[in-house]
Structures are given as structure tokens and as C-alpha cells.
Structure 1
Amino acid sequence: MGGATMMDTAVNGAAAEAAEGMADTAGMEAAEAVEVAEAVEVAGGTVAGPGRSIPVARRGAEPSEAGGDCPEAVAVGASASHDPCAHGFLPERPPVRSMIGTWTRLDAMARAAAVAPDREAAIALVERARRADELSALRQRVSRLSVRNAEAAAMRIAVIAVSCGWCGLDPQAPAAREVADEAFLDLWAAIAHRIDHDQFVALPTLALHNWAPERKPRRHIPIDQLARTEPLVPIVRWAGEGQPLSRLDRLMLAATRLEAHGIWLFRLAETLAGRSPDDCSTPTALRRLVRVHHSLRIQLHSEAAELAAAPAATPQQRAVLTALAEQGALEPPVLQAAEAVLGVGGRRLGEGRRQLLRRHLPVQHRAWLSAMERHCAPVRTLAHRGGPDAAVYREAQESLIALRRTYTALVQTAARPAEAPLPKAA
């Protein structure tokens, strides 16, 4: 009896200890569950429980139509490589017309710098923004920009830089800090790193990312078709509000429409890539290339008529054009694509490599041009041959040279000063 009683007591004690241990374990698990629930709730997720479910993944925020501080929700590995045959070197989507949040300050600064009477006034705007700590506030928010909104910010940075006469600077070079505002250079460098494009202060950014359709299309239409058929409006105007578009505005519009009409040139370049000069399809593609060049010349002539009727460029606008021309930053990408195929017309005196003109393009565009230059090398051997196929090739080269001359005349017209009034007869 005594042994049984002692055994029962031991069993009961062990059971009590086990019950206490289970209670402690349950309490610890409950406490851990509460902590996990609180942590997940802070992170914005949900946990399992009555009326709750565990989501597989958080749903990302929808990409903002306007610029903001929210990152773009893009699936991992979903970004496809850029295909110039789809829309040329135009942006894949219409540019961001208005930015929100803190970035409205950059938008306002770019609009004010574009209409500044001279460089000193534009530099004063940048210095005022630095004293107000606006530039440092924007610098801290660059990492939260989506790529599309970062490109919109880059366009505004380019407008400010060229208005201040800083278009030829490297924002990360020590010598640049002796010329330009240091806070602005930090913002410039951060934007360049975000879009992976160091030298974006050039025509492709100033034109292709500055003109957007006047109205939002009701259905999905390719960007090149929108640029050809829809009225385009500038996001940042070089002319004052309420005034007609200046010649500088018209030049940027002409460059944008030139890219839109040149989409067939990119597709013909893909057709000629890797073809043998003896292939029966090569002369056919070259004849079509000649027709594309002629149509682009007609397009430029129509743009030249509207540009000549626009108000003459102000001294500040002429200074902008001169600075861009000195840096080789007025080269249309579509003409560089034609030059990569035909091997003519892309270099100026004193420039030994085509990369000097291509440095203002994004990395994927430069890679595409280099690939076209390699793959079209067999076609360029027609320049050293005779016969009807070689004659078609030379005609394509001559039409490209004529197209370049037409564009050069357009730039010269845009930079031409206002004609002085004739003196009155005595």
C-alpha cells in the first residue's frame, strides 16, 4: 500500500509537472504568435487565424502614373530587353507629364529654368533651391523612384543643366564641383545612377522624354503611332506660358516626330542584319530604305516650315543650342541607326569613334547600334563593288547624306537670331 501510494504520488507529480510544462509551452507559443502577428501587422501583412489568411505574397502597389516616391511594382525577371523594332528609341510608354510629392519642386524648377532670361538667372534658381534644402531632400528620395519616374526626373535635370550651361559636365568629376552647384551635382549623379545612364543631357532625353500626347488614348496604341497621329504637347516649355512655341520647342518636336516616323528604318535594319550582299532580298530592303529616307526628309521639310514661322530664338535659347551642338548632343538616334547600317555620315571632323556620338544614348541603345554595325558589315561591302545592287547601296548612302543635311539646316534655322529691323530711310 505504501509503495502504491508513493507510486501514485510520483505519477501524479509527474503529470502535474507535465501539465505545467505544456501550459508554459502553450503560453510561450501564444506569446510568440502574438509577437509574430504584431511584427507582420507592422510590415503590412496578415497572419493565419480566425477570419485571416496567409497571403502568398504581398500585392505591390500599382505603378503611379505621375512621379512620386513609391517604387514601381515590377515582377522579378519580368523586365524584357529593349526592342527597337517595337517603337524605335522612343520611350516604351508616354512620358510622365506631372510629378507629385516632393518632386513637384524639381518640376517647377525645370519650368522656371527653361524660361530664364540668361544663365545667371537659371543658376540663381538652383542656388535658391540649395539654400532651401530642396536639392538634398530630392537626393534622399531618388532610390524610391521607379525607373519611368526617374527618367522623367532626368529630363527635368537635363533642362536645368543645359539652361545653366552645365551640359558638358560630368557630375562625379571633381572639376565639375568648381563650376556647378555641389548639391545639384549630387542629385544629378544619383539620377544618372538610377537610370544607368551617365550622359543623358542631350537631345534624346530633352526631346523624346519631353513631348507627350495631348490626351490620354482610350486603348493601348504603340508610342510611335501616338507620336505620329496624336497632337503632342511639351511637358517643359522653352517658351513662356501663354506664348507660342519657340523655335527650340519646334526643333525638339521635329526630333520626336522624326523618331516616330523612322520606326520602319529600325525594322529594315533588322532585315539587313546578317544578310549576304548577294541575297536577293538585300537590294529590295535597300530600295525600301531609300524610300524611308525620302519620307523622313519630307517630314523634316514640313517641320521646317512650322519652325521658320515660330518666334526667333532668344539669346538664352541660342546658347542652349550652341552648347548642345558643341557636345555633339543634337544627334537624332534614328540617324545613328541608319549610319550603323550604311556606315556613312555619323562622324564629324576631330572625332575618331562613333561612340563619342552614341554616349548620349542609354546602354541598351548603344548595344543595339553596335550589334547592327557588326551584323550589317557584309552589306557594306557593296560599296566596293559594281552592278545594280551596288548602285542601290550608293543611292541609300546618298539619301542618308541628304537627310542629314536637311536636319542640319533645321538646326541652323532654329539657332538663327531674329532679323534686325531695316533702318528707316532718311
Structure 2
Amino acid sequence: MTNPSPFRSVPGSGAPRPVAVRPLTGSWRSLDWYVQETMAARGRGEAQAIVGERWRGPDTSALTERAARLARDQVEPVALRLAAISVNCGWSEVLTDTRSAAPGVPDSFARLWAVVAQRLGTVRFGAAPLLAVTNHSGAGLAVGGTRREPAVIWSDSTSPSRIDLFLAALARVDALNASSVATACPLGHVATLRRGSVLGVLNHVRRAQEYVQDLLARALETVARTPCAAVGVIAARTLVADAAASGVPPRLVTPAAQGLEAVLGVRSPIGVPPARRHLGHQQVRELVMLDRVGERVRAAAVWPAPEADAHIKAVVAVRRSNALLRLLADTVVDPRAAREFTRASRPSRPRADGEA
């Protein structure tokens, strides 16, 4: 499985293992330079001009030829850099439905994107799972005696920018959602459900979402008072593009989030934009398995069984988390979103006697 970190690995669950992000090697290291160049751009037009110039040269043409032969452990690192470049340029799509370059995207960049996407197993690999989950999972932990930092960061100083904080929070949310999916996976591998097994899963989901909401609330306070360079705001706007009036923007719906909805029996069907954007073939098969888990959960969650009340509470908790995640995403683009939310949620002061 090559798409990044959809579910925590569970023996017998079919869930893929987390992806380890390794540094680029050889000629692929030039992608790190191109990422930094687009991050230093003063605006979207300048970032696009940089990519247009770099992808006219022979070096980048050679990368496209080599992409089909990339070592398996280098596919995600390459895709991660391409995702960062694309959001810095404000490209919400790189390939059209016919797999040609989207308007404004250099053909040579789109060709490399298409080859890497094929290696990942999905036509449109998702920027958010790569930039958040793959980039930030395990960041700061000692791995093999070395400290691993995110491969891609927008901060140009020792203090992170709003988008870095946001993507780190999204990675932590993804890990909590993945743990709930892992807890539910065994329900699909038993002939008869044990009494209380579904209730235990639903209670786990609710408790995990309490952690998620606390995490997002704290991130909201920090992000709202953290600066962000212009290109970071452009990248954030690209990630939240095509969002509905409410709910999580499509590019921020990670495979683990879809897995969580599946085990609760509330997942959108395969084929809607969030699913099509982020899932490889293997992940689609895994979600079909999780859909069957969701069917068993819904069958057990009928009144007057205690599972019914637990199911409602779990679904409501996920929706509350999604609302906070959407608010956090909006705050990265414009910190006033958090301030307006704070004012709206602050309890009104009782009026004194005679006060108008």
C-alpha cells in the first residue's frame, strides 16, 4: 500500500502500515530546492513562474522518465514535495478528469505528477494526507538515533507558521481517528459479535473524539495568534478550496477519517470527491471491508439496546470534531474566524438592574 497513513496496522485487518518518510536521494533532491523556492515566493504568480521555469529544463524532464523506476520507499517523499509545490502555486487540481494538465499547470509538471500518482495507486493523490499525515507523523521523535523533523515546513524562522501548526494538528487528529478504526477492525472478522463488543468500540470512538476536540481547541488558540507568510496562506487557501458552507473541505478528508465514518455506518459512498481524491485501489478495498463493519455496528445500534445511544453520541462527537477542524482550517486562512467564533461562543454577561 503506498498512499499515506490511512489506518493503523492491525494483524489480520488488512490495514496498511504507516509510511516512513525518508530524505530524497540523487537527482530527486532538486525537488527540495524547488519547494524552498516556491515557499520564498512573494505570491502565487511568482511561485507559478518559478515552477514554469524549472520544469522547462532537462533536469526535470529526466525526473519524469525516472519516476516509473523510483524505489518504493521514495514514492511518498517525492509525492510530498510535489504536493507542497502545487499548493504553494495555488493549484487546487494538477490533472483534469482526462488526466491532462489543469489550466495554468505546466505540462511537464503534470506529467511527473501523473506518473507519481500512478505509482501511488490513485489518479489524484491528496495533498493534505501527504503534507499533514505523512509529513508530521512521528515528527520530533527519535527514529534510529536521529531526530526526525517534518520534511516540508513553511516557517522561515524558529517559530512555526499557522499552516505548519495546522498540518501538525491534522496529523494528530488522524492518528486518533486511526486508533478508533483499528479498534473496530476486529468486528469484521468474527462470525458472532460478543455482547458489548460494539458498545466498546462506540465508547472508544466517543472518548477519542473528546481528545480530538481538546486538541483542536488548543490548536485554535495557538493558530489564531501565530503569523503566516503569504505563500503559507496561499497554500492554506488551496487546501480548503471547493469547501461547502460547512463541513470538512474535501482536501482535508484523510483516508483515516473516511475509515472512521465507515465503521460508524455514515460514510459517503465511493466516488464522491473526497474518496476519489485520496484513495488508492487497496484502500478502496479496505473501506469496503470497513463498510461491512459499519453495517454490523448499525444493526446492533437499535433501540432499546444501549448501543443505540452510544452510536448517536459517537456520531455527534465526530461531527463536533469536524466542525472544529473546519474552523481551524478557516483560521489558518484568516485568524478573524477564530476571534468571531470566540465572541459568538462566549456566554453573555447578565445585565445589571437598570442597564439597557
TM-score (norm: length of structure 1)? 0.67
Q: Is 1:303 aligned to 2:219, yes or no? A: yes
- How far apart are the structure 2 equivalents of 1:83 and 1:330? 13
Are 1:155 and 2:80 matched, yes or no?
Answer: yes
From the CA coordinates, give the structure whose radius of gyration is larger: 1
Paired residue for 2:273, among 356, 365, 380?
356
> How many angstroms does 1:233 deviate by?
2.6
1:86 aligns with 2:9: yes
* 8 Å Cα contact 1:246-1:310 kept in structure 2: yes
The answer to whether the 8 Å contact 1:335/1:404 transfers is: no
Displacement of 1:169: 3.1
Matched residue, 2:284: 366
2:27 pairs with 1:109: no
1:192 deviates by 1.4
Contact 1:273–1:375 (CA<8 Å) still a contact in 2? yes
**Could you say which residue in structure 1 is the equivalent of 2:186?**
271
| Distance in 2 separating the partners of 1:331 and 1:190 | 23
RMSD: 3.1
2:159 to 244, 247, 250: 244
Provide the C-alpha distance between the structure 1 equivalents of 2:286 and 2:270, rounded to a whole number of angstroms.
16
Q: Quote the residue 1:287 is aligned against.
A: 203
Per the alignment, residue 139 of structure 1 pairs with 64
Contact 1:158 1:205 (C-alpha < 8 Å) held by counterparts: yes
**Structure 1 residues 389 and 175, CA gap change in structure 2 (3 angstroms):** closer
Aligned to 1:210, the other structure's residue is in SS state helix
How far apart, in 2, do the equivalents of 1:322 and 1:149 lie?
A: 28
Alpha-carbon distance in structure 2 between the residues aligned to 1:354 and 1:339: 15
8 A contact 1:308–1:414 mirrored in 2: yes
Opposite residue 294 of structure 1, the aligned amino acid is: E
Distance 1:304 1:89 in 2: 31
Question: Where in structure 2 are the equivalents of 1:321-400 lying within 5 Å?
Answer: 321-327=236-242, 328-344=250-266, 355-359=272-276, 360-382=278-300, 384-400=302-318
Could you say if the C-alpha distance between residues 141 and 372 of structure 1 is closer, same or farther in structure 2, counting changes exceeding 3 Å? same
SS in structure 2 of the partner of residue 403 of structure 1: helix
Aligned partner of 2:63: which letter? Answer: L
Alpha-carbon shift at residue 164 of structure 1 (Å): 1.8
Aligned to 2:170: 255
Q: 1:89/1:152 Cα in 2 relative to 1: closer, same or farther (>3 Å)? A: farther
Query: Which one-letter code corresponds to 1:146 in the other structure?
Result: A
Shift of residue 110 of structure 1? 1.4
- Among all aligned residue pairs of Structure 1 and Structure 2, give the percentage whose two residues are the same amino acid: 25
Length, aligned pairs only: 321
State the match for 1:408 in structure 2: 326
Equivalent AA in structure 2 for residue 285 of structure 1: V
2:134 partner letter: H
Structure 1 residue 178: deviation in Å?
A: 4.9
User: Pairwise mapping of residues 103-252 of structure 1 onto structure 2 (< 5 A)?
Assistant: 103-170=28-95, 173=98, 176=101, 178-211=103-136, 213-214=139-140, 216-218=142-144, 233-240=149-156, 242-252=157-167
Instruction: Note closer, same or farther for the CA distance 1:284–1:383 as it changes in structure 2 (3 Å cut).
Output: closer
Gaps of 5+ in 2: 243-249, 338-356
Aligned-pair CA distance for 1:417 = 4.7
The equivalent of 2:348 in structure 1 is none
Q: Is the 8 A contact 1:274 1:376 kept in 2?
A: no
CA contact (8 A) 1:162 1:201 kept: no
Q: Deviations over 1:126-177 (max 9, x none)?
A: 1221333221021122133112201110111111122222232326837526
Structure-1 residue corresponding to 2:21: 95
Tell me the amino acid that sits aligned with residue 341 of structure 1: V
Per-residue CA deviations over 1:207-263 (Å, capped at 9, x if unaligned) read: 1222353464248xxxxxxxxxx98632112222x2521111111111112223334
In 2, distance between residues paired with 1:401 and 1:260?
17
Contact 2:9/2:16, CA 8 A, preserved across alignment = no
Whether contact under 8 Å (1:130, 1:136) holds in the other structure is: yes
Q: Which amino acid aligns with 1:396?
A: A
Runs of 5+ unmatched residues, structure 1: 1-78, 220-229, 420-426
SS across alignment from 2:38: helix
Secondary structure in structure 2 of the residue aligned to 1:94? coil
Aligned partners of 1:172 and 1:189 also within 8 Å: no
Q: Higher RCO, 1 or 2 (CA under 8 Å, sep at least 6)?
A: 2
Q: Distance in 1 between matches of 2:163 and 2:16?
A: 19
